[in-house]
Amino acid sequence: MNTRLLLMLLIVALVAPAAHARDFDEQVLKILAEVPLIDGHNDVPWQFRSRVKNKIEDLRFHQDTSRLDKPMHTDIPRLKQGGVGAQFWSVWIPTSLSRYEAVAVTLEQIDLVHRLNARFPETFELALTADDVVRIHGSGKIASLIGMEGGHSIGNSLGVLRMMYDIGARYMTLTHWKNTDWADAATDAPAHGGLTKFGKEVVREMNRMGMLIDLSHVSAKTMTDALKVSKAPVIFSHSGASAINPHPRNVPDAVLKKVKRNRGIVMVDFLESYVSKTVWEHGAKARAEKARLQTMHLGDPTGVENGMKAWHASNPAPKSTLSDVVDHMDHIKKLIGVDYIGIGSDFDGMGPGPTGLEDVSTYPALLKELLKRGYTEKDVKKIAGLNLLRVMREAEKVAKKLQAKGHASSMRLEIKEK
């Protein structure tokens, strides 16, 4: 081989990867312009409550919140940098609240989202339907959607559920970390064997209204019960695949197959212990070591603290990566198809994000990784937002049919306050 030809081949080898990377970047920009990237779960509303008691003007959301003493994952500049077209804001509340406190605090968090939209009207606009999301994205704004995280938010009342829908809530996670009085959670001891009779009525009423049923956080049996009852597609607003990491917050393969029959969607989460089995196991070992030290150092918190410092020094915490997140998507795609995958970060409801997905500015990197792995542009558009828009539209159609057939349920659940 002559020297000139060798030099030409070397130049091509050096230039081609850079050109290919530019092609992916351009593809991602095109996708984000044509399709709203929809994130199924972000906990910014609770950040406003915990940091500034819901005084919007005291948290400079239009500036870089990563520079705060306690950095956040989300702010307006980084949402724009990340190409976000629509965001489900989680109006999470603690499970420790009493029945009526839970309803009141949920209302306050929904009010926070409405006030956030009013404070930044050039950036946000409330979306209630799939068509709203498309229209708002087309106008250059970010569509704000509201999701309730935990069935305790409705205080065991279908009337409250209906009123939450009327003021903008468009999904409800049936449980959070603890069971409700009518549904079992994934991270609590089973109390009902899935959904109770009232729990099934909650699902039916959500179908009738057009509110999306969110099965993140619920037990596998609750997942199965809800999928049997629901006439509309369900969502998992922030969960992964159990086959990749068997954390109880993830979705077993048997349930994934039912999700396909239901035409629902799993919006893949970024929380490190859900993403990575290695991270999850490290956390479990750390908790076990702390329990051991507490037994060994009764009445000596300093001894426990020093022991944990030494343990962490010898057992540094592993990190999950963007690639690990896409592994969950790969598994779901292989098992049931690309039509049932979405994005549900859990930003500002978790600790540091995976390497490469540190905050809301990083969604383009996620889409780029999908393209690198051979996902088509059509596939990536579906994952970014088209799959969720399809689910929303189908839920809206089901609601219209059910509303034409009957009226709201009057069923009640009588539970004595403890």
Active site residues: 41, 43, 149, 176, 217, 238, 346
User: Which residues is 239 bridged to in the sheet?
Assistant: 268
C-alpha neighbours within 13 Å on the C-beta side of residue 21: 6
Rounded to 5°, angle at Cα 417 from 411 and 418 = 140
Residue 9, token pair as written in the block: 């081949």
Instruction: Tell how far CA 334 is from the center of its chain.
Output: 21
Q: What are phi and psi of 346, to 5 degrees?
A: 75, 20
Residue 41, token pair as written in the block: 């779960």
Give strand ranges (E) for 122-218.
124-126, 142-149, 169-173, 212-214
Q: Distance between CA atoms of 281 and 245, rounded to whole angstroms?
A: 10
- Nearest CA to 215 out of 259, 178, 246 is that of 259
Rounded to 5°, angle at Cα 387 from 372 and 40 = 90
* Amino acid, res. 265: I
Rounded to 5°, angle at Cα 188 from 266 and 270 = 35
Residue 11, token pair as written in the block: 């130049």
- Nearest CA to 365 out of 83, 76, 71 is that of 83
Residue 26, token pair as written in the block: 């351009």
* Amino acid, res. 320: S
Q: Distance between CA atoms of 310 and 261, rounded to whole angstroms?
A: 50
How far from each other are the two terminal CA atoms of the chain, in whole angstroms?
85
Helix (H, G, I), strand (E, B) or coil at 236: strand
Q: Distance between CA atoms of 107 and 112, rounded to whole angstroms?
A: 9
